[in-house]
Amino acid sequence: MGGRKISLASRVWNTPSLLVGGLMFAVLIGLAVFIPFISPYQPSEQNLSAFLQPPSSEHWLGTDQLGRDLFTRLIYAARTDLKIMVLAEIIPFCTGVFLGMLAGYYGKWLNTMISLLTDTLIAFPFYLIVIIVAFASGAGERGIYITFMLVGWIVFARVVKGLSASFREQEWVASAQTLGLPGVRIILRHLLPNVLPQAIVVLMTDMIGLLVAIVTLGYLGIGITPPTPDWGTMIADGRSFITTAWWLSAVPGLAVVYTGIALSLVGDGLADLWRKK
């Protein structure tokens, strides 16, 4: 057991992308958790006598048009967007992996039905579906969760279905079937551990797309509703001041890019880690 732990630690240490991405993401999470102790300001606290201030020692990233501290709002917005990003992935991830394993293992009519459903949904542009469903379900967190529960599972189902179908032809699956193990047990005990690593790598990539979608909905005014801070809303609010206070839109935009790079590095690192196994 000790040798295995050392081996895993050694492989993680020798995977720079995983280390760098994990550190970048950990810094963001740390700021989001401890922001009440870091900043003396509240995210909705206004000071009209100090509006549109540039970055300074008092306001690290400046202030917005209402005199609110931009650094404070940026990190509280990270709390909001990252929380939604993670929670909105749970049900689609579990649903997609489960349906993908069923379709890949059993095949036949079940595979046909799930493939038809995924192919039909994927024929439409992802963001078009997201915007339509968000409009129909209403702005706010509830609308975002409903939107991604309906469409977010597709990518996981397609990837896992292909993996499960290939594993079904392996000797170890045939041996389990020969022993009379029920299909559900084979899926959970043998298929799941083999498809899960690749599904998690896909999850990292999908979280980037989900974050961009959350920010896009906020930018369009059909995402998180004020006064809750959100990166998309902050970018939209800064449009009118792009020539006089460029940091209002640039800072939350850079935060989105930073988070995307961190998640991308973690995904690449996990893929490299499992390839070294």
Least trusted range by pLDDT, from 14-23, 51-60, 179-188:
179-188
Domain boundaries, the chain: 58-275
Helix (H, G, I), strand (E, B) or coil at 164: helix
pLDDT at 7 over 80: no
Q: What pLDDT does 4 receive?
A: 53
Evaluate whether 270 touches 198 at the Cβ level (below 8 Å). Answer: no
The answer to whether 117 and 126 are in contact (CB under 8 A) is no
pLDDT at 1: 47
> Region 36-61: what's the mean pLDDT?
92
Instruction: Report helix angle 154-168 to 70-106, nearest 10.
Output: 40
Q: How far apart are the first and last CA of the chain?
A: 16
- What's the pLDDT at 214? 93
Mean pLDDT of 29-53: 94
Q: Checking phi first, is residue 230 left (phi over 0); if not, alpha (psi -120 to 50) or beta?
A: beta
Alpha-carbon dihedral 219, 221, 227, 233, rounded to 10 degrees:
10
Give pLDDT, residue 72.
97
Which pLDDT does position 126 carry in this prediction? 76
Classify domain 58-275 at the CATH topology level: MetI-like fold (1.10.3720)
- pLDDT, residue 151, reads 86
Give the global pTM. 0.89
Proportion of the chain above pLDDT 90, given as a percent: 57
Among 62-66, 101-105, 180-184, the minimum mean pLDDT is found in: 180-184
